[in-house]
Structure 1
Amino acid sequence: MGQDRPNHQPLPFFTASISAFVRLERANGTPLYRQISLGLREAILSGDLPEGTRLPPERALAQELGVNRTTIMNAYHDLSSEGLIEGHVGRGTLVKRSNLQLEDDYFEQSLPSWLLGLSANEDALLGPDARVLSELSSMEERQEIISLAQGTPPPDMLPAELIQSILADNLTTARQSALGYCPVDGLLSLRRSIAARMRQRGVQVDVQNILVLSGSTQGLGLIGRFLLSPGDEVVVEVPTYLGAIQMFRALGARIIGIPTDNEGMRVDLLETVLARRQPRFIYTLPTFQNPTGVVMSLERRRRLLQLAKRHQIPIIEDDAYGEIYFNDKAPQPLKALDTYGNVLYLSTYSKMLAPGLRVAWLAAPVPMIERLGLYKQTFDLNTNAIGQWIISELIRRELLDAHLQLARQCYQRKLTLMLEAIETYWPTGGRVYPPTGGIHLWYRLPGDMRARNLLREAAHERVVFVIGELFHVDGGGHHYLRLSFASPEEKHITEGIRRIGIAMRRLMARRTPSDERDSPVERIPIV
């Protein structure tokens, strides 16, 4: 580590060309301000722009890079929200690295070269925000933190008593099925039960169409490794599930984002893309989409299937929330309309029962199941047997549907409570998108308020949520946030929303004239 500068005086004004750190590619789809902030971020963290360096004024840097001043303002705003730069009246904009980062540099000097490359490789594959959710999870472990970020069932909906009774009654007689090895493609009794339940939902599958997985993310990884080579393109919705973004990036895929509205993916825009590109597959969450909660309309589902058939492109349907619905009837899976075998259907028991069971499944044409089953055994010999056996027994005893009914009632009650709290405690001018199922609420912040800034402010109030930009592959989502209502206790939902409201008003007080009037909170129905 270098010696401290006397009195911590800032370095002289940075006179070299910023273009040495920022190479703008105007056709790559990433907003220019984001390219600038990422370039400067890397230069700061690498030490090329040391702590105390005075960056060029916005107007001067805009002229150097050939962009608008607003673009530089947004880039500096990004860096400021991460704590990497700080504005000082009379001294300009200074680089401000944390002591922790400087200490990390000191220890890195003694690491072998292959370890030093891990961080850079991770950022290149997963993106600069790959650590955000793990940081949120660390915060959630602190008891004083209210988390509206965690998308899991609450403790009182984890079926511990049901599982305990099943273990007490049957484990000794079923010890081989529950505690021994099972086939790579899954416990036969569970595969039969899954196929039967899917047929009840209109999907014509049999046991040979089912592959049991250790979580649906494993399914994404298996399909991706089987179908993708580095540099291949895949289509996703914007916004979409963060875990899928990270998986596809880790596999070296180039991601094409298709915008969504209140009817789901804009298949008219997808059709334009497919006319000139050849993606390897289309990834969609058509039912209670994560993060928006949207249900894709029937017309768009049919058009999507027609496009997939015409262009011979498979569709990965991720249906984690399809059985958590608040109306009288569950939406049918997209695969129920698939007569050509183009849909690879993924679902999981993590949201329906318990994530700790680590049991999910893939429903697909037999040749795909056979090939992926062979591929799966190179990564894990089989999915944990006891979790499969427990779920199979829950279904056999007709306990799963009763549990799901309780879960739907619980989550709908919590959603109503969250919406009422937003109406009560949040300033007007935002837009809320009430879902008809699932466990997430999507919200558009008032005016130009940024979710990343609000998260930083809300942390002072000991409450966390997930910022919208993490679900975007197009550099957008800065003004959106996702609130998960299933996991927290009811009293914590109200209190958490109240605390976020305090943080919002504090931000608005800094930026908004006192006489400005906001429009009411707008509720956008999800159909």
Structure 2
Amino acid sequence: MINWHDDLPKIKPKYLAITKLIKSLIQEEKLLPGQRLPSERKLAQLFDVDRSTVSRALLELTSAGLLIKKSGSGTYISQLPQIHSLPTRVNWNLFLENNKTNYSLYQNKITQTRALDNGMILDAAGNELPMELIPNLGLLQMNWQNFLLAQKQAQDAGYLPLIQTIGHIHEQKKQLKLTEQTLLITGGAQQSLLLILRSLLRVGDSVAFAQPSYFNSSAIFKTIGVRTFPIPLTDMKMDLNVLEDVILKHRIKLLILNPTFQNPTGDIISLEQRQKILKLCQEYQIAIIEDDVFGWLVDSKDEVQTFKSLAPENVIYISSLSKLLGSSTRIGWIVAPEAIGKRLLQVQKKLDIVPSMLAQVMANLALTDETFNTEINKLTKELSIRRKNVTKILHELKPDWNFKTPKGGFYLWIKQNDPDIFEKLLKKNILVKPGPIYGTTKKDFRFNFANFDIERQQKLRAALTKDK
């Protein structure tokens, strides 16, 4: 009898160890031609690894002619396995297989639909503001001489005036304090997350995040070689029992959260929940990464203390301007304890991913423009109007759609009973982002109401009325 776990060679990466073991078992005739292997899920349990690790190993062995995959039946030892034959060419299928995911297939469909659009699509699948809602800050004037002078104010952490401006805004809004903290400028929230993971984790380390979450479809984790574990989030309450179980079983290093106008649910994690999550993470020495890109758009009456303000030494804070000034702005920042900040700066410099000085100077001009606060107020009011009007249309025409109206942000998270809803809405020229992108079912989808001005609201009503 094969003892899969104990016989596994002590080499890394694990998929190579699995490949080597199966080759030796075939050579020793412990696995015979035509014999069926256990399922990928079962092998993952036996080896105590992710299923993706097993998939890669089996794909390597199939490419080498040692295994045969039969659709709907399983994986078998080849009738004539050539143990010593090695492939002489790169197996590009490995790269292609790694990209065949539910969310990538949906994302490709969304991209294709937009490319073929002739002006008919009602696009509720966007991640950002439409152009007409981006704050109008007028002329941000800067001559070349002033730009050259500005470069003298560059530090390792970024453009000093921008660092000071961002720090002042955060302290003014009482979101966090910069005492014994490092604030460094990055090329956006995604780059911030990449920098943190590259700086603090090693290949094979584990992180957790809430589900549903846009982190579910992020390629960053695979790029770094980090294992991910989703934690159920229901009505903005994280299942702390599951979180504790995952921490104990998988030695989680980081918990990544997007607690304010969470993407995709659009909701806010309450102060009570934040305190419970913090208490559990402090008990097990788990650091928290707080992604707060929507913090700009919270009404003062709905504001909840950031994780960073509640536990400055336990939390690394991320924010950016992408949800406010457009995704191409590419300016974000990290606020981390000083010791961690030094490490992040070292890795940022080593990887040469310091954002351009021109972008940093322009961002500072935008944030310090005298019309900035007025424009943000106009934006939040317009978003409130669009949210109210769109939810009214959906409640009236789709009473079976279950969703909670958020207090801000851009998104509605809608649950209903039809697994073909994405395709059916697309036939009505309504484009949404389906649940599998966020780690849930085909019956869920995210709807970006920010894109719906009066004209689009009328078209939405007409499209949804067609099957009434």
Shorter-chain TM-score bucket reads 0.7 to 0.9
Q: CA RMSD in A?
A: 3.4
When structure 1 is superposed on structure 2, of 141-150 and 436-445 the one drifting more is 141-150
Q: Which digits, 9 at most, give the CA deviation of each residue in 1:356-402, with x for residues without a partner?
A: 21101111111211111121123335212222212212333343322
Structure 1 match to 2:110: 136
Structure 1 match to 2:422: 455
Aligned match of 1:259 in 232, 237, 244? 232
* Inter-CA distance 277–376: structure 2 relative to 1 (3 Å threshold): same
Alignment of 1:62-81 (within 5 A): none
- The residue type paired with residue 440 of structure 1 is Y
- C-alpha separation in 2, matches of 1:254 and 1:173: 48
Structure 1 residue 325, shift from structure 2 partner: 2.5
Alignment of 1:76-95 (within 5 A): none
Aligned match of 2:435 in 468, 475, 479? 468
Does the Cα contact within 8 Å between 1:467 and 1:478 map onto a contact in 2?
Answer: yes
Structure 2 match to 1:435: 406
Q: Which digits, 9 at most, give the CA deviation of each residue in 1:124-179, with x for residues without a partner?
A: xxx443253244134224232221000211211224x52x5112xx3345222668
Find the residue that maps to 2:103 and give its secondary structure: coil
Aligned match of 1:480 in 444, 452, 455? 444
Gaps of 5+ in 2: 1-33, 46-50, 76-88
Structure 1 residue 487, shift from structure 2 partner: 2.9
Q: Does 2:415 align with 1:444?
A: yes
Does the Cα contact within 8 Å between 2:271 and 2:305 map onto a contact in 1?
Answer: no
- The residue type paired with residue 364 of structure 1 is A
Does the Cα contact within 8 Å between 2:102 and 2:437 map onto a contact in 1?
Answer: no
Does the Cα contact within 8 Å between 1:183 and 1:382 map onto a contact in 2?
Answer: no
- C-alpha separation in 1, matches of 2:287 and 2:461: 41
Structure 1 residue 309, shift from structure 2 partner: 1.8
Does the Cα contact within 8 Å between 2:102 and 2:436 map onto a contact in 1?
Answer: no
- C-alpha separation in 2, matches of 1:211 and 1:20: 51
Find the residue that maps to 1:281 and give its secondary structure: strand
Aligned match of 2:281 in 285, 294, 308? 308
Aligned match of 2:362 in 386, 390, 399? 390
Structure 1 residue 264, shift from structure 2 partner: 3.2
Does the Cα contact within 8 Å between 1:445 and 1:480 map onto a contact in 2?
Answer: yes
* Inter-CA distance 220–463: structure 2 relative to 1 (3 Å threshold): same
Structure 1 residue 193, shift from structure 2 partner: 1.0
When structure 1 is superposed on structure 2, of 134-143 and 285-294 the one drifting more is 134-143
Structure 1 match to 2:90: 113
- The residue type paired with residue 198 of structure 1 is H
Does the Cα contact within 8 Å between 2:103 and 2:436 map onto a contact in 1?
Answer: no
Q: How many residues align structurally? A: 403
- The residue type paired with residue 443 of structure 1 is I
Aligned match of 1:320 in 284, 288, 293? 293
Aligned match of 2:207 in 234, 244, 259? 234
Structure 2 match to 1:25: 42
Structure 1 residue 221, shift from structure 2 partner: 0.7
- The residue type paired with residue 170 of structure 2 is M
Q: Does 2:226 align with 1:247?
A: no
Percentage identity across aligned positions? 22
Alignment of 1:56-67 (within 5 A): none
Structure 1 residue 433, shift from structure 2 partner: 1.5
- The residue type paired with residue 287 of structure 1 is T
Structure 2 match to 1:214: 187
- The residue type paired with residue 469 of structure 1 is P
Aligned match of 2:390 in 418, 424, 434? 418
* Inter-CA distance 397–272: structure 2 relative to 1 (3 Å threshold): same
- The residue type paired with residue 155 of structure 1 is M
- C-alpha separation in 1, matches of 2:36 and 2:238: 37
Structure 2 match to 1:186: 158
Structure 2 match to 1:516: none
Does the Cα contact within 8 Å between 1:191 and 1:210 map onto a contact in 2?
Answer: yes
* Inter-CA distance 232–133: structure 2 relative to 1 (3 Å threshold): same
Q: Which digits, 9 at most, give the CA deviation of each residue in 1:177-230, with x for residues without a partner?
A: 668994442110010111111112331115961111101000111111122222
* Inter-CA distance 246–409: structure 2 relative to 1 (3 Å threshold): same
- The residue type paired with residue 395 of structure 1 is L
Gaps of 5+ in 1: 1-16, 29-33, 49-53, 66-111, 507-527
